[in-house]
A and B are shown apart, each in its own frame.
Chain A
Amino acid sequence: MIKQYFLNTWSGIWTVLVGMKITFKHLFTPSVTIQYPDVKVELPERSRNRLYVNMDDCIGCDQCARACPVSCIEIETVKSVPGDEVGKTSNGKKKALWVTKFNIDFAKCCCCQLCVFPCPTECIKMTSIYEFSEFERDNLLYNFATLTPAEVDEKKDSYAKLEAEKAAQKAAAAAEPKPVAAPAPEKPKEESSNN
């Protein structure tokens, strides 16, 4: 009982001293923190931050939007008309779709990288930019599509015209035996990623 009492006293003092020795040692170890905006950590090559889309390579296949678990990618495409040169991807594939809308909402994006893997042309990738905060949430909606609204309208119109022409031809071809009303021009294909 008495022995326990003095043992308690001793262990109390001793363990406190041991702890103090450790913290005193740390007083002279160099700091592990850095002065953030002045000094920045070099991110590893695989770091996942803001997405970047290289629109030159994008073929508008919508795979990234379908893979996204939070539906933050929104893609709309219009088929090109014959004679319209959409361009080639960097690996030489010919593109067939005008990407009229390619929005990524970084307010929703969870940087899970699921969109990067299915991309056939490797045009969507994670960058090491992580400082893109905004005061307005709307500013986080990034538009990657390169077409101007006027161009988008033009592409839509020309595709609609083509469709109408095709439909008219079909109708004309079909109308000979029995006339059928020409089908209404098909709307540009709208794709959303909501599964």
Chain B
Amino acid sequence: MALKTEEMVLNMGPQHPSTHGVLRLELELEGELVLNVRPHLGYLHRCFEKHCEAMTYPQVIPYVDRLDYLAAMSNELTYAITCEKLMNIQVPERVEYIRVIMVELQRIASHLVALGTFGLDIGAFTPFLYCFIDREKILSLFELTCGARMLYNYIWIGGLSHDLHPDFIRLAKEFVQYFKPHVAELNNLLSYNKIFIERTANVGVLPLEAAINYNITGPSLRGSGIKWDLRKNDPYSIYDKFDFDIPVGKGTFGQVGDCWDRYFVRVVEMEQSLRIIEQALEQIPEGDVTSALPKRVKPPEGTVYARTENPKGELGFFIVSNGSLNPYRVKVKPPSFVNLTVLGELCKGCFISDVIAILGSIDIVMGEVDR
């Protein structure tokens, strides 16, 4: 006689060590096997879009920081680019260089958190802290420049709040030299560890077609093997001046598009960001960073959409202006939210441990998912 079995519904989150904040996953389990995953959102909803309507354009920037709080600079850049497009502002060359340096440093910082917490989800605690040590160094550079470590309010519409600190270029060059061997160390400690490979290779394989159908962007998309990076494909700012490669998943240890590929794309991207930073630090011109700041941000009537390649994926802002000081409508296209939609697809038929690994490899930030 067969035993009567029942599917178990396991409620993972909103308080759970590995759901990266307040994501709640409803898992339907058959033993260790996951039959279905339903993510529940909204625990961190802060009405960002509605809030913006009550703010003037510059006042939105501190709120924009709080979308993807691990990559606040990148969010600011996107918002600033959107507003500049709306107002037709041409920013000085030096501002563009500083922006690129900051955003690429931010990309490294964000990826370090992504890689570190991914390792933590898999069970390796130490790489997580090694990543955070390096991230702290980047945050100190930011603090030197604008005074804040996480939520900068640095990139403004038409310029920057401060010029670079006199020591910044020297310290940034030192950081680049310091950080290069640390990527290799991370690879030896975590990326090429057999247990780590076993845990991540062939797990959560995201085929290219599915990735495109789900509108996955960022490293998760490139992990599936397509060279799609807005910095190359739709260059904004001055990215067309730099020489860098777009890493893609190659299926080194398993199928293309598995967790390991998504993970390793981020590792290589950090190296490429270092290349961009090095070039930018060499070429940075002198100039005034506040010259193009508008006295009063009052864009003309109209709508605008601009997008950039954030560490998590493609972030876009759609702004409707009615010609007043406040935006009439701000709509965000958040990469984390879009990337999260594929979770249910990826997790069908895997183990509980794999759910954690897959969630870690798509690298979401709840601040951006819930807004």
Is there direct touching of A and B in the complex, by C-beta distance under 8 Å? yes
Contact check, A46 vs B62: say whether CB atoms are below 8 A apart: no
Interface of A is mostly: loop
Number of chain B residues whose Cβ lies closer than 8 Å to a Cβ of chain A: 34
Q: How far is the CB of B370 from chain A (nearest CB, A)?
A: 18
B54 within 8 A of A: yes
Instruction: Give chain A nearest CB distance to B168 CB in angstroms.
Output: 10
Interface of B is mostly: helix
Q: Is the CB of B147 within 8 A of A48?
A: yes
Cβ < 8 Å to B, chain A residues 158-195: 195
Query: B59 to chain A: which residues have CB within 8 Å?
Result: 67-69, 114
Interface residues on A, range: 20 to 34
Contacts of B54 in A (CB 8 A): 195
B189 touches A48 (CB 8 A): no
A46-B147, A112-B151 given; A19·B62 CB < 8 A = no
In contact, B194 and A22 (Cβ under 8 angstroms): no
A-B contact count (CB 8 A): 79
Q: Is B58 an interface residue (CB 8 A)?
A: yes
A139 at the B interface (CB under 8 A): no
Q: How far is the CB of A124 from chain B (nearest CB, A)?
A: 14
Nearest residue, chain B, Cβ from A111: B148
The answer to whether A44 and B193 touch across the interface, beta carbons within 8 angstroms, is: no
B180 within 8 A of A: no
Chain A residues with CB below 8 A from B321, complex form: none
Query: Mask for B140-156, Cβ within 8 A of A = 1, else 0?
Result: 00011111100101000
Q: Give CA–CA (A26, B136) in the complex, Å.
A: 17
| Residues of A5-21 contacting chain B, CB below 8 A | 8, 11-12, 14-16, 18-19
A147 within 8 A of B: no
Q: Which of A19, A67, A68, A113 contacts B193 (CB 8 A)?
A: A19
A114 lies within 8 A of B194 (CB): no
Instruction: Count chain B CB atoms within 10 A of each CB in A19, A22, A110, A114 and give the residue with the most.
Output: A19
Find A18's partner among B56, B61, B126, B188 (CB 8 Å cutoff). B188
Are A126 and B188 interface neighbours, CB within 8 A?
Answer: no
For the complex, is B79 an interface residue (Cβ under 8 Å from A)?
Answer: no
B186 (CB) vs chain A CBs: closest residue: A22
Nearest CB of B to A5, in Å: 13
Contact with B along A101-126 (1 / 0, CB 8 A): 00000000011111001000000001
Complex Cα distance, B145 from A115, in Å, reads: 18
In the assembled complex, A32 has its CB within 8 A of some CB on chain B: yes
Q: Which residues of A sit under 8 angstroms from B63, Cβ to Cβ?
A: 69
Name 30 A/B residue pairs within 8 A (Cβ), A-sorted.
A8-B194, A14-B194, A16-B194, A18-B188, A18-B192, A19-B193, A22-B185, A32-B133, A44-B147, A44-B165, A46-B144, A46-B145, A46-B147, A46-B162, A46-B165, A48-B147, A67-B58, A67-B59, A68-B59, A69-B63, A70-B62, A112-B61, A112-B151, A113-B147, A113-B153, A113-B161, A114-B58, A114-B61, A117-B161, A195-B325
